[in-house]
Amino acid sequence: MTRTILFDSPFLLGFEHTRDLIERAAKAAAESYPPYNVEQADNGGVRITLAVAGFSPDQLHVTVEAGQLIVAGKRDSADGRSEAERAFLHRGIAARGFVRTFVLAEGMEVTAATLEHGLLHIDLARPEPERLIKRIPIRSAG
């Protein structure tokens, strides 16, 4: 049974959002560049670290849109020459741009993004939800 058939069941109404989350997470997992780590922080938050050697802060963009953390990098030539004009004897450092996405749980917030020593650290926190108690009035039938 495929995911589509499971979520298209008439007994699972209103789960379109869950299906979309699963599909976005599967697409994000298929991406492989740049490499990254995800670690649990001491304060209960999460830190994502991406290896972005050679990128400057103005070449990187971190945005949150529709429940996704999007990290994009666009590399410009440092000396103004195009890649075709440069003669590499060996090319082992990737110079391509990238877009890496992470699906965020509801309520997750990006608190900071720091670039140091070729590593982009993105700190996320999940604030404690405020506790809501809703009293339901009881009517008498008559």
35: cis peptide before it, omega within 30°?
no
The pLDDT assigned to 60 comes to 95
The pLDDT assigned to 58 comes to 93
The pLDDT assigned to 1 comes to 40
Reported in sequence order, the residue ranges of the chain that DSSP labels E, i.e. its strands, are 36-40, 46-51, 60-65, 68-73, 98-103, 109-116, 119-125
Note the pLDDT tens digit of each residue in 4-39. Answer: 556 666 666 676 766 776 776 666 666 667 899 999
DSSP 8-class letter at 43: T
Note the pLDDT tens digit of each residue in 74-131. Answer: 977 666 666 667 788 887 777 778 999 898 888 889 999 999 999 999 999 988 878 8
Nearest to 106 by CA among 13, 16, 17, 12: 17
